[in-house]
Structure 1
Amino acid sequence: MNPLLLDFPTSFTTERLTIRMPHPGDGQVVYDALTRSRAELKDWLPFAQKEQTLEETEANMRRAHAKFLNREDLRLLIFHKENGTFIGSSGLHRMNWDVPKFEIGYWCDAAFSGKGYMTEAVQGIAHFAFTELHANRIEIRCDALNKKSRAIPERLSFQLEGILHNEALSVDGKSLRDTCIYAKVKA
């Protein structure tokens, strides 16, 4: 299957959210959220290790837009449906279009953490992957110590298929970490 020939929506909604592909010009809202949230994100995400400039963030959004169109990576930005406030970023990554299978990654603006937005977004993205992209498998991988990240697949009935011990370095490169693999498969 040639994924470039697949037509599917570039945005969708859930009860409280609008979830869409990145567009040129999204750099500012993402930059602002990263700046506010760096302290919370830096223990878990490589891109949060150093402060990015607005220009770097905008360039990243434009690359994400191009990758989405080329079906190489499907980054998705999450906005509040009523007021358009940026809440976080997610997407379908490390894709295998032959299966098809996808990995969901996510991060939330610290100002919106703990309100159920990311759980709602991941549930919506999983539904999108199963219905629009005909996924047979969706994975969520996260550091075993990241309790907030682990809570999302557990709330959404993803199965913990295993823990890969000493599988990765911590994002600061100072220690070995275990990686949890959660999955949901097509019913």
Structure 2
Amino acid sequence: MEWAFKAGEQSLRLIPADPAFYSLFQQALNASYLDHSEFLPWPREYTSAEQALEFLLKARKEFNSETGERRWLIVTEDGQALIGCIGLKPRTRKRYVVGYWANTEQSGKGYMRAALTHLLNNLPEFTFYLTASSANARSRRLAEAVGFVLIRIHLGARQSERHGEQDTCVYRLPGKPQIKKSPQERGRTVVS
């Protein structure tokens, strides 16, 4: 599954994780370390070329697995820049948990919003969820701009040196009608 689309005037592609992009992947991770480490548990201060290649080889292998995360790279049409990555972790009953990160050098241009919207719109048979720290305003704004709705807040579920105690916000992308909806899915936000 690969898609070409436009974000403003920029032509972009969503492609399954491809080891051929390991150098751009490495550069994006290293350039974005400070932003990513603020909210994500996995960033390394420095990612080597070997680590980037190993990650993309593993991601390619997992892509077609029933239980593996499906990761798409967002690249410019000419393949000269890596915009970011979107991952879909499978859950039960055609549900996925969405994760994403943007290359700091390419953020703020609407590319991630366009890519996320394009990917999720091309998979209408699935239900999507995502979580974000209450302190991560950029990620929460992006989720809401794409159409995700806040359905639950887990109070004090996260802790970091920089932000202290934070809540975890749980979002759902409304899709096709559900036969029976929970209170959260009927539009109420549940705080626990």
> What range describes the TM-score normalised by the shorter chain of this pair?
0.7 to 0.9
**CA RMSD between the two structures:** 1.9
Give yes or no for contact 1:91–1:125 (8 Å, CA) kept in 2: no
**Aligned 1:123-142 pairs, distance under 5 A:** 123-130=117-124, 134-135=125-126, 137-142=127-132
The AA in structure 1 aligned to 2:170 is: I
Residue 185 of structure 1 pairs with residue 174 of structure 2: yes
2:55 matched residue in structure 1: 60
Residue 76 of structure 1 aligns to a residue whose secondary structure is strand
1:173 positional shift: 10
Residue 13, structure 1, aligned to residue 4, structure 2: yes
Q: Which residue of 2 aligns with 1:165?
A: 155
Q: What pairs up with 1:1-187 in 2 under 5 angstroms?
A: 9=1, 11-15=2-6, 16-71=11-66, 72-82=68-78, 84-93=80-89, 95-96=90-91, 98-130=92-124, 134-135=125-126, 137-170=127-160, 175-187=164-176
> What does the per-residue CA deviation read over 1:42-65, in whole Å, with 9 as the maximum and x for residues that have no partner?
101122143222111110110000
TM-score (structure 1 length as normaliser): 0.83
Do 1:75 and 1:92's aligned partners in 2 also have CA atoms closer than 8 Å? yes
CA deviation digits over 1:152-187, x for unaligned, max 9? 1111221110211122343x6994431111111322
Ranked by relative contact order (alpha carbons within 8 Å, sequence separation 6 or more), the top structure is 1
Contact 2:26 2:52 in 1 (8 A): yes
Whether the 8 Å contact between 1:159 and 1:182 is mirrored in structure 2 is yes
Closer, same or farther in 2 for the Cα pair 1:26/1:82, shift >3 Å?
closer
Max Rg structure: 2
Question: Which moves more between the two structures, 60-69 or 81-90?
Answer: 81-90
In the other structure, the counterpart of 1:6 is none
Which secondary structure does the structure 1 equivalent of 2:151 belong to?
A: strand
- Structure 1 gaps of 5+ residues are 1-8
**Runs of 4+ displaced beyond 3 Å:** 172-176
How high is the sequence identity, in percent, across the aligned residues?
23
Which one has a larger percent helix, Structure 1 or Structure 2?
A: 1
Q: Which whole-Å CA distance do the structure 2 matches of 1:173 and 1:70 have between them?
A: 37
Structure 2 stretches of 5 or more lacking a match?
Answer: 177-192
